[in-house]
Amino acid sequence: MTTTTPPPETVEAAPAAKGPVKKKSRWSKPRLITPYAVVFLLAILTVIAVSVETPSPGDEDYLSPTATSDFGGSVLAQRLTERGIATTVATNVADALAAAGRPNTTLFVPAPDFVRADQLLEMSYLPEGTRIVLVRPGAFRLMALTGLQVADSRIATGLAEPGCNVPEAAAAGPAEVFRDRYAAPDPPKGMQPVTIGVPCYDGSMVTVPSVEEMPEIVVVGAADPFDNARINAAGNSELAVGMLATRPNLVWLDMHASEPPPKYDGEEQEPDPYVPPKASSPENPLYKAFPAWMWAALIGLLIVFALAALARGRRLGPPVVEPLPVQVPAAETVYGRARLYRRGDGREAALSAMRDGALHRILPAVGLSSKADLGQIVETVAARAGRDRQQVRMILFGPPPGSDQDLLNSIHALDSLEHAVLGERPHERRHRR
Amino acid sequence: MITWRPVVVFGVLLLTLPLWPLPWLGLLLYIVLVGVACLADAMMAAPLDRLTMWRSGDKMVRLTGTATVTLHVRNDGPRTLHGALHDSWVPSAGATPASHPVTLPPGKARELVTTLTPTRRGDRPAVRVTVRSHGPMRLAYRQTPRARADKVSPPWTLRVLPRFDSRRHLSEKYSRLRVLEGAVAARGRGRGSEFDSLREYVIGDDIRSIDWRASARRESVIVKTWRPERDRRVVCVLDTGRTSAVQVGDTNGGGLAEPRLDAAIDAALLLSAVAARAGDRVDALAVDTEVRAVIEGGARRGLLPKLVRALAPLEPALVETDFGLVVAEVLKREAKRALVVIFTSLEPGAIAESLLPALPQLASRHKVIVAAVSDPVIARMRTRRGYGDGDPMDVAYQAAAAEKSLVERRRVAASLVRYGVEVVDQPADVFASKVTDAYLALKASGRL
């Protein structure tokens, strides 16, 4: 059938219902996203830059009295010695506590977050004249030792005025300590706010005086006044030296990792032999075991796989979609109704439907109209089928079935009656249309 | 994008790595080498935007038939196109082959023949043509991106016409029609009530048809001949609502289950062919909640192809048919008395709520036949009780449900008959024939 004539104009085929045509705007998306992406990228870069620039207390050099790098504290240590302070360097808390047991000692803790909670408690049992200087303690240690909270935290250190009459601060003048600010926690409703210690530099240095035989504690919100890079700026040097030189002895806790927790059997703690030495292995020995070309070939093989994926990856034209027509399976409602009968044990409804159908076929066969009365039907059908009248009445108009077996029996009886009247054998009728 | 070749080339080159004093340098060199070669090859491939494409071929095919559509491609670019071309049609169009290898020198055109064996009735469109152009070394290729391919593909739609299986009944119906018209020798006069002509009496003519007045004017005995009425109107109304989507017929008996709508279209075509031959005017409407198709059979000649073409794209919609709209449309279009054949289903809900209220208005003006395809599956379910395999309770309840639905159908049919409507409720295999028989019976008795 090869026809090229257009369909005649009298034929008006209604257009197939179609969804609204999707309109894609090619440029609006990038234009919307670009400014946000730029801002997001800048923010990410800033955060990365700051975190790279900021020394971490975990570094070996961080405020160590022997380190001469930018983060180290060698200059500070030297100036303290010049002031005639006897400096003891401890590399673990037990040594530091033992050394700080002498009266009139300052315990300098540059990395308080590596001190364990139980050691913190021991720290607060140091003699009354002791001063503890903490640099940027975390929230938990700060709260445990002083009851203060970090009120706010800046991303970089700023210069601040002392604004208090603590002697070393007043002597130092403006210094770069304004990074973390400390304050007492907000009081519960209806209570007066309390002040803990003497805040200097806008709260970034708080001196908590000695109470009830506890040592005096000084919290400093930035590491800048102590390290080699910034110690010469503003009043940093005076502040740092002044803070640590109020007592003739100084214990410098130069610790850069947490200590393992103590054993609880009361024995003297041994150094844990299972802690692996923190050494970076310079080269995997496996690398030397094979020739270099093999590694190159291995990488080359990966590239081959990637190329193979590319070569296989593109179809010649994307798959085509097509709306499928609506299709309802045959006799779906009938099967559904049968399941409903089954679930609801609709024996009565099922049998009455069967009786309706049987009567519809029987009545014309015996020459009765559908308006014939019950007695007449029973009599005619019984006569035609050669059955007992009472039995026919029970089959056609009997009570609803009580059990599943009753229903099956009733249907069977109905079938045989119908066949008796219509003169057909069940199996014959089954094959007829 | 690359082909298999650079993969193989790169793999072979890798085998030479042990010979290099600096294998990493060698690897880098190979990567650059293969990359540059692929890039150059892709650059040298024939441009895709210089192709001109158009189609020719079949616009129509009967379902189960085969059509050919030719895609013409001309290369207007400066370089020879080596590559492949994928002519995508919707899956139900049954297009083969899916892709054609193409070598096209500049300025030359090629014809690519696609053979289509559609699996479904309706409009089967060509979707897009995707072209892949290889470089001279076959290392890399260019391919039309989807959006562009959608834009440049020449459109074509193949209309797949219904199978019209009941064609096999046509000759039988035509011969019955000829008997009705008195065109063939048969006992009795040509039936009908319309006066046709006068002719001389021959032995065997019904003496009741002797025209005595005419005989008196001549020397011989003259009889009147009659013929069935002509120029009556027949309107086929196809319900394309939700009930028309239900499939009828056995699938387990090896038969083909088709939607009720397809059976209705088949029957409407047979009826229209016979009615057109009988000299009646046939219109057709397809309606659910709106009018889907209107065919006004003005000229008798060519009615059937027109009807087939118009009914082919009809598809069932999942909506409740608005018979009020059906009646309004029929009353609007048919001023004269007509035979209205409504192809729908005897479903109690749809009929009672929508058709029955509108029916008196229609039945008072026109003769109405409601034709419904019944499902042989239900009849078998009813008689299968007690013999089925599986749970006897399931079989019993299924028989009861089938009986219930038959009772309901009868009830609906009875309520329709009360309005003077004729109901044809037959299984799909004889449906078309029975509907046409109902028409012929009406025609024979002069009740059109």
ipTM of the complex: 0.73
Express each pLDDT in A221-267 by its tens digit.
888 888 888 888 878 888 888 888 888 888 888 888 887 776 655 55
Rounded to 5°, the CA angle A348-A354-A358 comes to 140
Count of CB atoms within 10 A of residue B30's CB?
A: 21
Mark yes or no for CB contact B120/A325 under 8 Å.
Answer: yes
Three-class secondary structure of residue A88 per DSSP: strand
Residues B157 and B82 in one domain: yes
Domain boundaries, position A410: 342-430
- The answer to whether the beta carbons of residues B372 and B243 sit under 8 Å apart is no
| Residue B163 Cα distances to A190, A328, B323, B366, B384, angstroms | 90, 21, 28, 30, 32
Which of A10, A320, A346 comes nearest B296 by C-beta?
A10
Out of B227, B246, B273, pick the residue that ends a domain.
B227
Does B218 lie in the same domain as B156?
Answer: no
Same domain? B185 vs B244? no
- Say whether both B152 and B180 belong to one domain: no
B32 and B82 assigned to the same domain: no
Q: Are residues B373 and B387 in the same domain?
A: yes
Q: Are B293 and A337 inside 8 Å of each other by CB?
A: no
Of A195, A228, A253, the last residue of a domain is A253
Last residue of a domain, one of A220, A253, A286: A253
Residue A419 carries which side chain, given as an amino acid letter? Answer: H
Using alpha carbons, list the distances in angstroms from residue B328 to A73, B200, B296, B366. Answer: 99, 49, 16, 13
Query: Which of B56, B318, B393 is nearest residue A342 as measured by Cβ atoms?
Result: B393
Contact criterion met (CB < 8 Å) for B88 and A329: no
B156 lies in the same domain as B176: no
Do the Cβ atoms of A301 and B14 come within 8 Å? yes
C-alpha distance from A289 to closest chain B C-alpha (Å): 15
Q: Residues B201, B277: one domain?
A: no
Domain that holds residue B245: 233-444
Name the A residues in 331-360 with CB < 8 Å from any B CB: 331-335, 337-339, 341-342, 346, 349-351, 353-354, 356-357, 360
**Is position A1 within any domain?**
no
Residue of B25, B397, B417, B431 best to disrupt the A interface, most CBs of A under 10 A: B397
Question: Which residues share a beta bridge with B74?
Answer: B52, B109
Helix, strand, or coil (residue A403): coil
Contact between chains at B404 and A337 (C-beta distance less than 8 A): yes
User: Same domain for B300 and B222?
Assistant: no
Chain A CB contacts of B396 under 8 Å are: 350, 407-408, 411
CA atoms within 13 A on the CB side of B312: 27
What is the SS3 assignment for A206?
strand
CATH number of residue A216's parent domain: 3.40.50
Low-confidence ranges of chain A (pLDDT < 70): 1-30, 262-283, 424-433
Token match 């130069």: residue?
A: A254
Of the residues A235, A253, A271, which one is the last residue of a structural domain? A253
Residues A131 and A100 sit within 8 Å (Cβ to Cβ) = no
SS (H, E, C) chain B: CECHHHHHHHHHHHCCHHHCCCHHHHHHHHHHHHHHHHHHHHHHCCCHHHEEEEEEECCEEECCCCEEEEEEEEECCCCCEEEEEEEEECHHHCEECCEEEEEECCCCEEEEEEEECCCCCEEEEEEEEEEEEECCCCCEEEECCHHHHHHHCCCCEEEEECCCHHHHHHHHHHHHHHHHHCCCCCCCCCCCCEEEEEEECCCCCCHHHECHHHHHHCCCCEEEEEECCCCCEEEEEEECCHHHHEEECCCCCCCCCEEHHHHHHHHHHHHHHHHHHCCCEEEEEEECCCEEEEEECCCCCCHHHHHHHHHCCCCCCCCCCCHHHHHHHHHHHCCCCEEEEEEECCCHHHHHHHHHHHHHHHHHHCEEEEEEEECHHHHHHHHCCCCCCCCHHHHHHHHHHHHHHHHHHHHHHHHHHCCCCEEEEEEHHHHHHHHHHHHHHHHHCCCC
Mean pLDDT, rounded, of chain A = 79
Contacts with A314 from chain B: Cβ below 8 Å: 1, 143
**Residue A392 near residue A382, CB atoms below 8 Å:** yes
With CA atoms as reference, the chain A residue closest to B429 would be A433
Residue-level pLDDT at A137: 86
Q: Which of B7, B64, B128 is the mutation pick for testing A, counting most A CBs within 10 A?
A: B7
Q: A328 and B406 in contact by Cβ < 8 A?
A: no
Find residues 81-140 of chain A whose CB sits inside 8 Å of chain B: none
Strand partners, A86: A249
Read off φ and ψ for residue B167, nearest 5 degrees. -55, -35
- Whole-number Å distance between alpha carbons of A217 and A208: 5
Number of structural domains in chain A: 2
| Euclidean distance between CA atoms B250 and B444, whole angstroms | 34
Determine the residue among B85, B404, B430, B434 to mutate to test chain A binding: the one whose Cβ has the most chain A Cβ atoms within 10 Å. Answer: B404
Are A320 and B127 inside 8 Å of each other by CB? yes
Is the domain of A108 the same as that of A231?
Answer: yes
Number of domains in chain B: 4
Find the CB nearest B247 among A304, A328, A350.
A328
Chain B, nearest residue to A404 by Cα: B393
Q: Do A430 and B67 touch (CB under 8 A)?
A: no
| Within-domain flag for A44 | no
Residues A116 and A235 in one domain: yes
CB of A15 within 8 Å of a chain B CB? The answer is no
B142 vs A124: CA distance, rounded Å = 76
Domain boundary among B143, B161, B179: B161
Residues contacting residue A382 through CB under 8 Å, at least 6 positions apart: A388, A389, A391, A392
Domain assignment present for A287: no
Residues on chain B touching A325 (C-beta within 8 angstroms) = 120, 122, 245, 259, 315-316
Are B7 and A307 inside 8 Å of each other by CB?
A: yes
- State whether A14 and B6 contact (CB < 8 Å): no
Q: Is A309 an 8 Å CB contact of chain B? A: no
Nearest CA in chain B to A341: B397
**From the candidates A23, A301, A328, which should be mutated to test the interface with B, based on the most B CB atoms within 10 A?**
A328
Nearest residue of A to residue B87, measured between CA atoms = A317
Q: Are A47 and A209 in contact (CB under 8 A)?
A: no
Axis-axis angle for helices B4-14, A292-313 (nearest 10): 170
| Distance from the B5 Cα atom to the nearest Cα atom in chain A, whole angstroms | 9
Pairing of strands B157-161, B367-374: unpaired
Residues B365 and B296 both lie in one domain: yes
Interchain pair A314, B1: CB under 8 A: yes
CA distance A421 to chain B (A): 16
Helical pair B303-311 and B260-277, crossing angle rounded to 10 deg: 170
CB pairs under 8 A between A and B: 227
Which of A11, A330, A357 is facing B407, going by the closest CB pair?
Answer: A357
Pair type for strands B141-143 and B109-116: unpaired
Type of residue numbered B417 = V
Residues B122 and B145 in one domain: yes
Q: Which tokens is A116 given?
A: 């364990």
Query: Do residues B419 and B295 both lie within one domain?
Result: yes
**Is residue A132, in this structure, part of any structural domain at all?**
yes
Task: Spell out which residues of chain A touch residue B318, defining contact as CB-CB under 8 Å.
Answer: 326
Nearest to A310 among B2, B143, B295 (CB): B2
Residues of B in contact with A350 (CB under 8 A): 396-397, 400-401
Contact status of A433 with chain B (Cβ, < 8 Å) = yes
Examine the domain organization and report whether A118 and A247 are in the same domain.
yes
Task: Decide if A390 is inside a domain.
Answer: yes
Chunked into runs of 10 residues, chain B (448 residues) has average pLDDT values of 92 90 89 93 90 92 91 92 92 90 92 92 91 92 90 92 88 86 54 69 80 86 76 90 84 67 92 89 91 81 86 90 91 90 88 86 91 86 65 86 90 90 89 93 80
Last residue of a domain, one of B183, B202, B227: B227
Helix (H) or strand (E) segment spanning residue A154: strand A149-160
In a domain, A275, yes or no: no
Nearest to B3 among A311, A325, A433 (CB): A311
At B244, which CATH number?
A: 3.40.50.410
The answer as to whether A317 is a domain residue is no
Q: Confirm whether A300 is domain-assigned.
A: no
